[in-house]
């Protein structure tokens, strides 16, 4: 039987910590003189007390290390528990959202998906706008720690290939997680602060600059208005592009850079590939828009650059309704969303390194067919790749495709049309945010879809954020039996 006390202790502390962060929007609303501050007071009391009681109840089971099963459970349960408490301000607040809508919004925030069921966002109290930003900001730094500490140890989706270049955590996950989180947090805060200053320099109001900095660096994409970045000019768009790209790069490279080693950052093939993909797709999209409009304009280039970067990084901002650009852009936006950024970043979806490994395996297999007696080993970043890594990557890709198909079918059964079902499934599992079509596309949101579909999408966000295989593992009978 799995000892749940170490898991419960960590979850209790994290829930209590989430409650403490509610004091920040409480202060904002209190200073603004609106009565919404009491909502965050109630939410904070409920969350802090509940988290504290859970931690106290499990304190006698705390140990230095976690077993493999405990690590799987902790990784999964954190991303289920925190949205439950993160939803409380939405239910008690100005939105008076139903439990379904509140949980959807909180899950979307903490998984940095960015899909929203709220309308009239610009009219919400500042505290609630900030709370959406905080959820995404916390989710962003949380997923970096998970990607750098837990997933390599759990050997999920080929992430074990990064164990040697990150941190040695085997057998001592909790102590090392604290050290890693502290280093990452410093970098994360510096990026967020820099992004907020840059937004302010473009003329964005200080409050909007702070919230958008949080949702940019986390590649979350929740904006302070229904129009997203359509409200802002060229300066804000270019600043956003820079920081979305920075957030989509491996944070371990920033740790190494601060430690005085810049070479890994410049030589990382995953970074090179990601930047080339962004460059090529932006040029393709810009050429398409220029050809369609019959004139070369900076606006067309900027909108292509901004929206391509937003979707491929999984941020989900929009500056224009690209559904009106024609059929080619729609197809391109769908597929680049399934690429994602780099491993160990705040970005989401499949990740660039997995495609690199698959292509390396295909190249090796083709050479093997040409020369049956030769020995050809797939290589990544100059290093040979073992069968365990390739098998893990292939298993992840198959699971991703099956999950995408199953979610699309389930959404279709709720009455959604084909485009909404398929793009919604991809947007949720890939944690991208906006889908395609008139309802959930860049000009819409998820407010009007049925509650059953919202629950399916919320579960898909959770499964996608945890790289699918983590969730599938704890659902097996063997996991609990042994």
Residue 175: per-residue pLDDT:
45
Residues 90-121 have pLDDT tens digits of 998 766 778 999 999 999 999 999 899 998 89
Interatomic CA distance for residues 94 and 282, integer angstroms: 40
- The structure tokens listed for 112 are 């940095």
Count, in order, helices (H) and strands (E) of the chain: 23, 2
Residue 173: per-residue pLDDT:
41
Residue 403: per-residue pLDDT:
94
What letters, b where the CB count within 10 A reaches 16 and e where it falls short, cover 331-361? ebbbebbbbbbbbbbbbbbbbbbbbbbbebb
Q: How many CB atoms lie within 10 A of CB 196?
A: 22
Interatomic CA distance for residues 172 and 97, integer angstroms: 41
Residue 176: per-residue pLDDT:
55
Provide the 3-class DSSP secondary structure of residue 384. Answer: strand
* Crossing angle of the two packed helices 68-86 and 451-465, in degrees rounded to 10: 140
Interatomic CA distance for residues 130 and 128, integer angstroms: 5
Positions in the chain short of pLDDT 70: 1, 63-65, 94-95, 147-180, 482
For CA atoms 304, 310, 314, 320, give the dihedral sign: negative
Location of structure tokens 């945010």: 433
Asked if 341 contacts 347 with a C-beta cutoff of 8 angstroms, the reply is: yes
Location of structure tokens 């399916």: 456
Phi, psi at 157, each rounded to 5°: 60, 30
Instruction: List C-alpha distances in Å: 415 to 36, 103, 354, 397, 450.
Output: 37, 21, 34, 28, 8
Q: How many CB atoms lie within 10 A of CB 293?
A: 12
pTM reported for the whole predicted model: 0.90
The candidate with the shortest Cα–Cα distance to 356, out of 274, 450, 473, is 274
Phi, psi at 281, each rounded to 5°: -65, -35
Burial class (CB in 10 A: 0-12, 13-18, 19+), 64: exposed
Asked if 202 contacts 240 with a C-beta cutoff of 8 angstroms, the reply is: no
Residue 164: per-residue pLDDT:
47
């Amino acid at each position: 039987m799995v000892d749940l006390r170490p898991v419960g202790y960590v979850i209790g502390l994290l829930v209590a910590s989430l409650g403490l962060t509610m004091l920040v929007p409480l202060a904002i609303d209190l200073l603004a003189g609106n009565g919404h501050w009491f909502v965050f007071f109630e939410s904070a009391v409920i969350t802090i007390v509940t988290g504290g009681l859970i931690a106290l109840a499990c304190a006698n089971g705390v140990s230095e290390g976690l077993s493999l099963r405990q690590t799987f459970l902790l990784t999964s349960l954190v991303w289920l528990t925190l949205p439950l408490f993160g939803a409380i301000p939405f239910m008690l607040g100005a939105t008076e959202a139903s439990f379904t809508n509140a949980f959807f919004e909180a899950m979307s925030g903490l998984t940095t998906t960015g899909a929203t069921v709220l309308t009239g966002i610009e009219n919400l109290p500042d505290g609630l706008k900030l709370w959406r930003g905080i959820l995404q900001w916390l989710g962003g730094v949380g997923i970096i720690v998970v990607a750098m500490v837990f997933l390599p140890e759990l050997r999920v989706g080929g992430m074990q290939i990064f164990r040697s270049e990150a941190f040695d955590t085997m057998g001592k996950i909790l102590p090392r997680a604290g050290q890693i989180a502290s280093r990452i947090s410093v970098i994360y805060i510096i990026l967020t602060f820099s992004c907020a200053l840059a937004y302010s320099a473009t003329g964005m109001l200080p409050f909007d600059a702070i919230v958008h900095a949080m949702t940019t660096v986390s590649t979350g994409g929740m904006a302070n208005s229904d129009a997203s970045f359509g409200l802002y000019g060229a300066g804000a768009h270019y600043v956003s592009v820079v920081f979305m790209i920075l957030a989509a790069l491996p944070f371990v490279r920033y740790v190494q850079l601060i430690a005085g080693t810049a070479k890994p950052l410049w030589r990382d093939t995953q970074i090179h590939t990601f930047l080339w993909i962004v460059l090529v797709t932006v040029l393709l999209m810009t050429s398409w828009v220029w050809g369609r409009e019959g004139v070369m304009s900076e606006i067309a280039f900027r909108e292509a650059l901004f929206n391509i970067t937003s979707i491929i990084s999984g941020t989900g901002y929009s500056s224009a309704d690209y559904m009106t650009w024609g059929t080619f852009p729609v197809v391109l936006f769908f597929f680049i969303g399934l690429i994602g950024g780099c491993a160990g970043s705040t970005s989401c979806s499949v990740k660039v390194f997995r495609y690199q490994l698959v292509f390396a395996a295909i190249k090796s297999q083709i050479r093997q067919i040409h020369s049956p007696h030769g020995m050809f080993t797939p290589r990544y970043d100059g290093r040979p790749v073992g069968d365990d890594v390739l098998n893990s990557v292939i298993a992840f890709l198959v699971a991703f495709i099956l999950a995408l198909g199953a979610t699309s079918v389930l959404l279709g059964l709720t009455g959604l049309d084909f485009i909404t079902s398929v793009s919604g499934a991809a947007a949720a599992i890939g944690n991208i945010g906006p889908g395609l079509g008139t309802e959930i596309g860049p000009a819409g949101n998820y407010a009007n879809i049925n509650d059953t579909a919202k629950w399916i999408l919320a579960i898909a966000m959770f499964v996608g954020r945890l790289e699918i295989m983590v969730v599938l593992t704890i659902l097996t009978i063997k996991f609990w039996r042994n």
